[in-house]
Structure 1
Amino acid sequence: MSADYTTTITVAATPQQAYDAISDVSGWWGRITGRTTAVGDEFVYVVPGLHYSGFRVTELEPGRRIAWLVTGSHVDFVDDKQEWNGTTVRFGIEPTDAGTAVTFTHEGLTPEGECYGACSNAWSMFVNGSLKTFIETGQGTPYLFAGDEALTGDDHEELHRQVRESIAAR
């Protein structure tokens, strides 16, 4: 079996600044519903008509690491719509001479999975581009929605409810 998708960025920031920026998911990835500030918190990320996933925060060590378990997902463009279920997204944060290294790993996202090509490309865009810029400048390029694909708070709450129900049904 191949390795999980991993990428590392080096940022001109302290480990705590990197940690704080990663925790502000809406600032670099896109609109979420829920919370990301304590172990056990849950949140939902949505790309209308393409992908949604629910996460539970499983590790938080300020300035050092963050981990989120994918508790439920629907990836519309692959046969196994729940391919992300049970995978874990991790951020390792280490000080370096050049600033801070952030190692992103999506455990369970491997080349054998149907989503690997598109999903690893998307993660590369968000982590290597948006997150890096967000950490260094406070201005990321998260996925934003407008017009017909814009979601209301009620839309997000409904998707969050669906993820919780799919977990409970297991």
Structure 2
Amino acid sequence: MSYTTMVSINGTTQQVFNAISQHVQKWWGNTDNSVSSVGDEFTTSFDSTYWKFKISEFEPNTKIVWKCIEAKHIHNGYDGIEKEWEGTLVEWVLEEKGQNETILNFAHNGLVPELNCYEICFPAWERFVTQSLKSFVETGTGMPHLS
């Protein structure tokens, strides 16, 4: 089963959506572009690792899906992970819970326990989605990996 998580964020669906589409560098990693429609592309990098994504779904304030179209994942002690994300889908679905509360349902479709990178990617997504993104929306300060 692919990795999923859910988090409640004190913020509007618009604030959360903007963080995911416009401000990835503020909560995840170095990012070369913001996105505003299907077909847009961006790359996020950590040191010598990078992932390139193409937007396959874009429904403002509701849903965005990133398709990984290129990957070079390097992590000491992990062999065979370089291209594992290629073809996977990172899906963000937003639900308005209250006036200033959004439920974020996150799935990385294709990130499964059988992948060599799962044991490092699972806790990394937990940190970046449930802590860093949440903190960025709620306080203006995330915890990205910038190098």
* TM-score, scaled relative to structure 1: 0.79
CA distance in 2, matches of 1:21, 1:33: 14
2:16 is matched with: 18
CA distance in 2, matches of 1:78, 1:130: 27
Q: Is the 8 A contact 2:35 2:41 kept in 1?
A: yes
Shift of 1:113: 0.9
The one of 105, 121, 125 aligned to 2:107: 105
CA distance in 2, matches of 1:70, 1:144: 20
Q: Is the 8 A contact 2:81 2:115 kept in 1?
A: no
CA distance in 2, matches of 1:114, 1:129: 24
Can you give the 5+ residue segments of structure 1 that lack an aligned partner in the other structure?
146-170
CA distance in 1, matches of 2:138, 2:34: 23
1:68 is matched with: 66
User: Is the partner of 1:106 in helix, strand or coil?
Assistant: strand
Deviation track 1:84-124 (CA, whole Å, cap 9, x = no partner) reads 00001010100114711001110000111111110111111
CA distance in 2, matches of 1:31, 1:93: 24
How large is the RMSD of aligned CA atoms in angstroms? 1.3
Higher strand proportion: 2
1:79 is matched with: 80
CA distance in 1, matches of 2:71, 2:47: 13
Residue type matched to 1:112 in 2? Answer: E
Shift of 1:80: 4.0
CA distance in 2, matches of 1:94, 1:31: 27
User: Is the partner of 2:32 in helix, strand or coil?
Assistant: strand
1:7 matched to 2:9: no
* TM-score, scaled relative to structure 2: 0.91
Deviation track 1:106-145 (CA, whole Å, cap 9, x = no partner) reads 0000111111110111111100110001111221111122
Residue type matched to 1:88 in 2? Answer: L
Residue type matched to 2:29 in 1? Answer: G
Q: Is the 8 A contact 2:17 2:60 kept in 1?
A: yes
Residue type matched to 2:90 in 1? Answer: V
CA distance in 2, matches of 1:113, 1:12: 33
Q: How many residues align?
A: 142
Higher helix proportion: 1
Instruction: Please say which of residues 29-38 and 117-126 is displaced more in the overlay.
Output: 29-38
